[in-house]
Homo-oligomer: A and B are copies of this chain.
Amino acid sequence: MSVSPSLNPHVSVDCVIFGFSKETLRLLLIKRTVPNAITELDDSYYALPGDLVRDNENLDEAAARVLKELTGLTGIFLQQFQAFGDPLRISKAKDRAWLQGVRQDPDARVITVAYMALIDSNQVQIQPGSFSKEAVWLPIAEIPELGFDHNDISEGALLALREKVQIQPIAFELLPEKFTMSDLQTLYETILERDLDKRNFRRKMLNSGVITALPEKQHGVSNKPARYYVFNRNLVENGGLGFVNLKMEGSFTLFS
């Protein structure tokens, strides 16, 4: 059992990857298999995808590498939200058994920098590849006990997402390129965990300038076909709308 030098922990990145399908917010998790499985424990469990930061890369590059290896995607929404550094964040038996199979110094402290990714889960081909033999999308209401402190990290990501969707137009990253107003409202209601008034939502979303109606409507639906919209990505990213505030109902406003 090697011991790392005092004051020199490992540094990793972990990615909380959000997707949205079947009206449910989901996390992309990988399955870890404990080598030389300890009989009294299950031999596998779920964790966030992550890896140690390499010598020659910065934190954003490390997170983008993890995401690309798992999803094949580049250039998607990926934002650092918090570092986690509890000295005891790796103390569960399963975590230690898993680390003994993959690392020379399983007892070294690991401080991790957590990232949040938002992707259209319907467009992604999961490539577990070097991280795991299996990766799954699990509804956030059904996340089991994860490795390390990954439940805390996931919870932190969800709180950060709720805050961010109120001040940045980022929720669109979770939708297909074209979507209905109902799709969009369901997404916001799911993230915020509250119902929103339909007429107000529609009016304000259109007034904000962040979406544009297409001439196209749904095909082959039994009910009245709904109109499709697109996110004005170029306009928003070029600052054409200025500061966009997606404020919750019932909050106070000082500077409107």
Which residues, 73 to 118 on A, are CB-close (under 8 Å) to B?
A: 80, 82-87, 108-109, 111, 113
A42 within 8 A of B: no
The number of chain A residues with a CB under 8 A from chain B is: 55
Partner of A204, one of B58, B109, B241, B253: B253
Against B, the Cβ 8 Å flags (1 = close, 0 = not) of A31-67 are: 0000000000000000000001111111100000000
A201 within 8 A of B: yes
Closest chain B CB from A96 CB (angstroms): 18
The number of times this chain is found in the oligomer is 2
Partner of A255, one of B54, B59, B201: B201
Partner of A246, one of B56, B207, B249, B254: B254
Alpha-carbon distance A38/B249, docked complex (angstroms): 60
Closest chain B CB from A143 CB (angstroms): 23
A167 within 8 A of B: yes
Contact stretch, chosen from A3-11, A123-131, A212-220: A3-11
Closest chain B CB from A252 CB (angstroms): 4
Residues of B close to A80: CB separation below 8 A: 82-83
Residues of B close to A159: CB separation below 8 A: none
Q: Which 10 pairs show the lowest CB-CB distances between chains A and B?
A: A245-B251, A59-B85, A204-B254, A208-B252, A8-B8, A243-B251, A246-B254, A83-B83, A83-B113, A58-B86
